[in-house]
Amino acid sequence: MNLEQLTAVAKAMVAPGKGILAADESNATIRSRFDAIGVDNTPDNRRDYRSFMFRTEPAMTDHVSGVILFDETIRQHDADGTPLVQYIKERGAIPGIKVDQGPREMAGFPAERCTDGMDGLRDRLRDYYAHGARFAKWRAVIDVSDTLPTAGAVKANAHMLARYAALCQEENIVPIVEPEVLMDGAHTIERCAEVTEFVLKKTFQELFEMRVQLEGIVLKPNMIVAGKKCPVQPTVAEVAEKTVQCLKHTVPSLVPGIAFLSGGQSDIDATAHLDAMNKIGGNPWPLTFSYGRALQAAAQKAWSGKPENVSAGQAAFAKRARMNSLASLGQWDAGMEAA
């Protein structure tokens, strides 16, 4: 393991004014996004869509530090034969790769899930490194209710995250450690805070026990929000305060950076929350974005699978990238959205 190299990559992933584009939807997940805009889920449509995002400037040169790819995309070539990974690298961004194989029902734990993907992981990481990946992602999902999660399910997910992270570092790939407490359901913001704090404490305990070097990871947590169906929704300031407080309780200052998932928040909420946290300031780690839906939803809608809409799709993507870049610096305000 080259810890210096890992740390340099991790710091580049959270460089000032930059964040990560999560474009690693599995073929099943991108199907639901394409269904919503009436686009067939074919390899060529997936390629054309991701190709236009990866060629968008100045989004990719100025606001995006790295892109999380799906297995198909890291091997995919554009119509003219250019590898899609080349577009990312040419614009100074770092290719990354999703290596988990999705959450599955957990034996013995009804209604809870644990993430698959450890089989053959060392060999897959070596192959991905050869294809240009310098960071990876593994997402664990934690469902919330009055009685869930159980300590057992949290422990299993945290352990998998830590084993994955150790293997990544052995192969000189920075692990994005992503324990996502879901915002599905009707739980309150207080319940989200309680569960997230427990999950992050367990995750860092496992990272420590599995000898993961914290200087060479990026944490990708959820923000502290209320469940989507909760009748009482918090203000932007409350989300920002509770999220920063939770992270300060749980995340060692040695971690080079924190890049949030958007998790089903609206585009503007995801931007406003990130901005408010950065306006609080004084945090020991940079706080930035690693958004999927909140960076791409507007671009997908503007494109809608039509070649003549590519520049509209690129403009929509560029706008969200710029708004989130400003938010990562605490320099966004709602008035900029109209411009």
Fill in the amino acid letter for 119.
D
Active site positions, annotated: 178, 220
For ligand 13P, the closer CB: 37 or 78: 37
Check residue 253 and give left, alpha or beta (phi > 0: left; psi -120 to 50: alpha).
alpha
113 binds ligand 13P (CB under 6 A): no
Residue from 292, 323, 325, 327 binding ligand 13P (CB under 6 A): 292
Which among 101-109, 154-162, 289-297, 321-329 is the span making contact with ligand 13P, rule CB under 6 A?
289-297
Q: Residue 146: which residues within 8 A CB-CB, separation 6 or more?
A: 187
Inter-residue contact 76 to 107 (CB < 8 Å):
no
Inter-residue contact 177 to 203 (CB < 8 Å):
yes
Judged by CB under 6 A, the number of residues near ligand 13P is 10
CB of residue 188 to ligand 13P, shortest distance in Å = 21
E-only strand ranges, the chain: 19-22, 64-69, 94-98, 103-106, 109-115, 135-142, 174-181, 218-219, 258-260, 287-291
Residue nearest to ligand 13P (CB): 292
Which among 39-47, 58-66, 257-265, 322-330 is the span making contact with ligand 13P, rule CB under 6 A?
257-265
Both tokens assigned to 82: 């250019």
Q: Residue 4: which residues within 8 A CB-CB, separation 6 or more?
A: none
User: Cα 299 to chain center, whole Å?
Assistant: 17
294 binds ligand 13P (CB under 6 A): yes
- The CA distance from 273 to 44, in Å, is 35
Segment 203 to 242, residues that bind ligand 13P, using CB under 6 A: none
Inter-residue contact 97 to 24 (CB < 8 Å):
yes
Place of tokens 């100025």: 62
CB of residue 117 to ligand 13P, shortest distance in Å = 13
Which among 47-55, 126-134, 291-299, 314-322 is the span making contact with ligand 13P, rule CB under 6 A?
291-299
Residue from 97, 153, 261, 318 binding ligand 13P (CB under 6 A): 261
CB of residue 16 to ligand 13P, shortest distance in Å = 21
Place of tokens 């060392």: 122
Inter-residue contact 123 to 168 (CB < 8 Å):
no
- The CA distance from 291 to 86, in Å, is 21
- The CA distance from 24 to 101, in Å, is 11
What mask, x for binding ligand 13P by CB under 6 A, covers residues 177 to 206? -x----------------------------
293 binds ligand 13P (CB under 6 A): yes
Which among 163-171, 190-198, 233-241, 260-268 is the span making contact with ligand 13P, rule CB under 6 A?
260-268
For ligand 13P, the closer CB: 78 or 228: 228
263 binds ligand 13P (CB under 6 A): yes
Segment 125 to 164, residues that bind ligand 13P, using CB under 6 A: 139
- Which residues would be at the binding site for ligand 13P (CB under 6 A)? 22, 139, 178, 261-263, 291-294
